[in-house]
Amino acid sequence: MQTYGKKPIAVRQTDHYQMEYVQQFVEKWDELIDWDKRKKSIGDFFIELLKARGAKRILDVATGTGFDSIRLVEAGFDVVSADGNPEMLAKAFENGRRSGIILRTVQADWRWLNRDIHETCSFYEKNTYAG
């Protein structure tokens, strides 16, 4: 349950959101999302949209358990998967591995996304490490 009290903006500026992602929630997420139904309903909409715009490198922010990242990698995009929660990233990595994909995951707090991703992606560009 989200409880932000009388000053919800003040709480939003903290790491409070991390408490919402308990392991039980992460384990249920894929069941709640239902990857097969989501894939059927979305189809290739985002993939075609990104290809039409000439995108090649994608930053999947709030990657969750990796649904979009995996689909985008399968479609040939160079993807970095970012999320603020390490449990979600671990589950995304596991889901990718089960699909035969090694996701490049980055734990990044959305409040400092530019700083965290820029430093990490610069590392990836300088090295051949992926994972």
For residues 39-53, give the mean pLDDT. 95
pLDDT in tens, 10-34: 655 556 555 555 667 777 888 888 8
Q: The domain 8-126 is classified under which CATH number: 3.40.50.150, 3.30.70.660, 3.40.250.10, 3.40.50.10140?
A: 3.40.50.150
Is pLDDT of 120 > 80?
no
pLDDT in tens, 72-96: 999 999 999 999 888 899 999 999 9
Q: Which of 29-38, 40-49, 99-108 has the lowest mean pLDDT?
A: 29-38
In terms of Cβ atoms closer than 10 Å to its own Cβ (0-12, 13-18, 19+), residue 104 is buried
- pLDDT, residue 9, reads 64
Domain boundaries in the chain? 8-126
Is pLDDT of 51 > 60?
yes
pTM greater than 0.75 (yes/no): no
Is pLDDT of 131 > 90?
no
φ and ψ at residue 81, rounded to 5 degrees: -105, 120
4 is written with which tokens? Answer: 């932000």
Mapped to the 3 state alphabet, what secondary structure does 87-111 carry?
HHHHHHHHHHHHCCCCCEEEECCHH
